[in-house]
Copies of this chain bind each other. A is one copy, B any other.
Amino acid sequence: MVRPGGRSARVQAAVHAAVRELASEVGRDALTVPLVARRAGVTPSTIYRRWGDLQELLSDVAVERLRPEASPGDHGDLYADLTAWAEQFLDEMASPAGRSYIRDALLGDPDGSNAGQCSAYAAEQLETVLARAAGRGDVTPDVETVMDGVVAPLMYRILFRPDGLDAPYAHRLVAQALGRTGP
């Protein structure tokens, strides 16, 4: 039985807000459950019962922050749309804050559902871009191709190789995924 409204919802909102506030005030590494609880006006045991531990709570908050806020912009053609999207994706994800969210989302995620959600967000955005291109009559790759060719390499480098990540690299990936050899 789930209780989406009322007090439970208020507690959840207060705790999430407390995490975000404290993360920017004292830094993510200084967060503790009792600290968050005090700020949220809640007892620690509430957080432990509901989220299990700090990591799962942070994972929850991280997934919310990784949710895209807007639909991908329309720049006239598929190549421009994808390039712009990849560039924004890179900016958001490769920033220190973005990396931190990604790590948190992966971390406190026993069943992999939060990580799956992150991937679904990207796939959803790509669907939009590709459907728009198809509506223009363009021939488009499918979502899987772009996930493998653009999203995966970007994310791999964000997680495993902090170096060599810049806009030109993202552009190359998009061009390759679209079957071009250059812009």
Contacts and interface: CB of A to CB of B under 8 A. Distances in A.
A105 to B, nearest CB: 9
B156 A160 contact: no
A14 to B, nearest CB: 27
A103 interface: yes
Given A153-B148, A153-B152, A155-B152, A160 B103 contact: no
Nearest to A29: B110
A120 to B, nearest CB: 9
B103 A107 contact: yes
Secondary structure of the A side of the interface? helix
Contacts of A147: 153, 156
Of A148, A149, A160, most buried by chain B (CB within 10 Å of CB) is A160
- Copies of the polypeptide in the assembly: 2
A33 to B, nearest CB: 15
Contacts of A161: 115-116, 119
A10 B155 CA distance: 37
A63 to B, nearest CB: 12
A40 to B, nearest CB: 24
12 contacts: A112-B162, A115-B160, A115-B161, A116-B160, A116-B162, A119-B160, A119-B161, A147-B153, A147-B156, A149-B149, A155-B160, A159-B159
